[in-house]
């Protein structure tokens, strides 16, 4: 029915698709991780083996204690599994101990450290204490950097944190749950991405409206003839509405497919760039629905707004008489 050029018919869904893609990326291009364990800053590269990643059956096969090294540290230090390495808690190497590398592990991805080299090692607790203990300070063997707590009910996190701070003045207690603070870095990044999404949608809406006005102008003759034949304006508008809906849906689906296809490439690029397994872009169902909820009504509304101007004209002017 439409006297629209083939290229134009193809490009409008593409344009809507781009809009959807841009909204999806603007919403998701940020580091995300399903689990994050926060630890206080420490100058030592050694951390206690708190998740049993050092295999017990290999412990102390011989007199040299064993250690697991992160993939980054293995590469940086140029060591292999089975090598004997020296670890020391002090930068000058004082009190160093020999360890045999029992294996390599991938550090848990942490959005707060995604650009940092994860030069880490996992030791048995006894080995770590032996390495870090200060013989002049008997209490130094009983110091921990962090204590991880598993609560019976996650909702109690704030109350538990407050109770600990009251009992242990000076302790820093933080929940692994996302912070509700507006100053939380990820909340700020989310607002930033939303702002970019809104700007993108504003710009593309202007383009879309311009395209739809041109498209409506192209159909002026046909609409005039239909009205001369007695087809009511409501039916013509309904047809425009349905056609706009189909184009917008097509564009939205195209956009989501584009976003899903591109997310792998973007993740691989960032994972390569920052040498991490962190997932940077994840097109979730919620985000896809949000993008569709933005794009489809906008596409339909733009089509209707453009056609409405034609409906208000007289039939005679529409057919050029």
Partner 1 sequence: MTSRALAWRTITAEPARAALAIAGVTVIGALLFDMLMLSQGLLVSFREMLDTTGYDVRVVATDAFPGRVDITNASEVAADIAGLPEVRDVAVVRSDRAIVVVPDRPATEVALLNLSEGAERQGWRIVEGADLGAIRRSESSPPAVISRSLARALGLRPGSALPLRVLISGAASAVPLVTFTVVGIAEFQFEGNGAEALATTFDAFQRARASMSSDTADLILVASRPPIEAAATVAAISARRHDVHAFSNEQIVERFNENGFAYFRQISFVLSTITLGFAFLLVTSLLTVSVNQRLGQVAALRALGVPRHRIAATLVWESALLVGAGGLLSLPTGWLLALELDRILRDMPNIPERLHFFVLEPRLALWHLGLIALTGVAAVLYPVWVAARLPIAATLRFETIS
The residue to which tokens 């209490």 are assigned: 139
Phi and psi based region of residue 33 (left: phi greater than 0; alpha: psi -120 to 50; beta: remaining):
beta
Residue 161 or residue 209: which is nearer to partner 1 going by CB?
209
**Can you tell me the distance from the alpha carbon of 293 to that of 291, in angstroms, rounded to the nearest whole number?**
5
Query: What is the closest distance, in whole angstroms, from the C-beta atom of residue 151 to partner 1 in the complex?
Result: 23
Query: What is the closest distance, in whole angstroms, from the C-beta atom of residue 264 to partner 1 in the complex?
Result: 14
Query: What is the closest distance, in whole angstroms, from the C-beta atom of residue 153 to partner 1 in the complex?
Result: 25
- The DSSP result for 46-86, as a single string, is EEE--S--S-GGGTTSSSS-EEEEEHHHHHHHT--TT-EEE
**Can you tell me the distance from the alpha carbon of 200 to that of 207, in angstroms, rounded to the nearest whole number?**
11
Query: What is the closest distance, in whole angstroms, from the C-beta atom of residue 73 to partner 1 in the complex?
Result: 13
Q: How many helices (H) and strands (E) does the chain have?
A: 9, 5
Residue 53 or residue 115: which is nearer to partner 1 going by CB?
115
**Can you tell me the distance from the alpha carbon of 237 to that of 243, in angstroms, rounded to the nearest whole number?**
10
**Can you tell me the distance from the alpha carbon of 24 to that of 11, in angstroms, rounded to the nearest whole number?**
19
List of residues contacting partner 1 (CB under 8 A): 3-5, 7-8, 11-12, 14-15, 18, 21-22, 25-26, 29-31, 40-43, 91, 114-116, 139-140, 142-143, 145, 169-170, 172, 182-183, 185, 188, 191-192, 195-196, 199-200, 202-204, 206-207, 209-211, 213-215, 217-218, 266, 270, 273-274
State both tokens at 236.
């013509």
Residue 103 or residue 111: which is nearer to partner 1 going by CB?
111
Query: What is the closest distance, in whole angstroms, from the C-beta atom of residue 37 to partner 1 in the complex?
Result: 18
The residue to which tokens 């998740």 are assigned: 51
The CA R_g of the chain, rounded to the nearest whole Å, is 31
Residue 159 or residue 206: which is nearer to partner 1 going by CB?
206
Residue 65 or residue 255: which is nearer to partner 1 going by CB?
255
Query: What is the closest distance, in whole angstroms, from the C-beta atom of residue 211 to partner 1 in the complex?
Result: 6
1 burial class (0-12, 13-18, 19+ CB within 10 angstroms)? exposed
CA 71 vs. chain centroid, Å, equals 23
Residue 7 or residue 285: which is nearer to partner 1 going by CB?
7
Residue 30 or residue 71: which is nearer to partner 1 going by CB?
30
Query: What is the closest distance, in whole angstroms, from the C-beta atom of residue 174 to partner 1 in the complex?
Result: 12
């Amino acid at each position: 029915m439409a006297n629209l050029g083939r290229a134009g018919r193809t490009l409008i869904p593409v344009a809507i698709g781009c809009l959807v893609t841009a909204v999806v990326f603007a919403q998701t291009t940020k580091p995300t991780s399903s689990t994050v364990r926060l630890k206080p800053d420490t100058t030592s590269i050694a951390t206690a083996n708190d998740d049993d990643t050092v295999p017990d059956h290999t412990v102390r096969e011989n007199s040299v204690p064993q250690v697991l090294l992160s993939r980054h540290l293995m590469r940086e230090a140029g060591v292999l599994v089975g090598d004997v390495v020296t670890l020391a808690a002090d930068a000058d190497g004082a009190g160093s101990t020999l360890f045999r590398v029992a294996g390599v592990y991938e550090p848990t991805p942490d959005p707060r450290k995604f650009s940092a080299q994860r030069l880490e090692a996992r030791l048995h607790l006894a080995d770590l204490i032996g390495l870090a203990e200060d013989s002049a300070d008997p209490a130094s063997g009983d110091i921990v950097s962090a204590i991880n707590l598993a609560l019976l009910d996650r909702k109690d996190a704030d109350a538990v944190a407050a109770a600990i701070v009251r009992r242990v003045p000076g302790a820093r207690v933080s929940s692994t749950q996302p912070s509700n603070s507006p100053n939380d870095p990820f909340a700020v990044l989310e607002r930033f991405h939303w702002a970019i999404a809104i700007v993108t949608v504003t710009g593309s809406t202007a383009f879309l409206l311009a395209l739809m006005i041109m498209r409506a102008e192209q159909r002026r003759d046909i609409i005039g003839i239909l009205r001369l034949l007695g087809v009511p304006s409501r039916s013509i508008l309904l047809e425009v509405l349905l056609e706009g809906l189909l184009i917008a849906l097509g564009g939205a689906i195209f956009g989501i497919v584009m976003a899903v296809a591109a997310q792998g490439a973007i993740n691989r690029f960032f994972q390569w760039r920052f040498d991490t397994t962190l997932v940077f872009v994840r097109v979730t169902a919620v985000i896809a629905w949000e993008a569709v909820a933005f794009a489809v009504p906008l596409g339909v509304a733009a089509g209707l707004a453009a056609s409405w101007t034609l409906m208000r004209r007289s039939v005679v002017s529409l057919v050029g008489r």
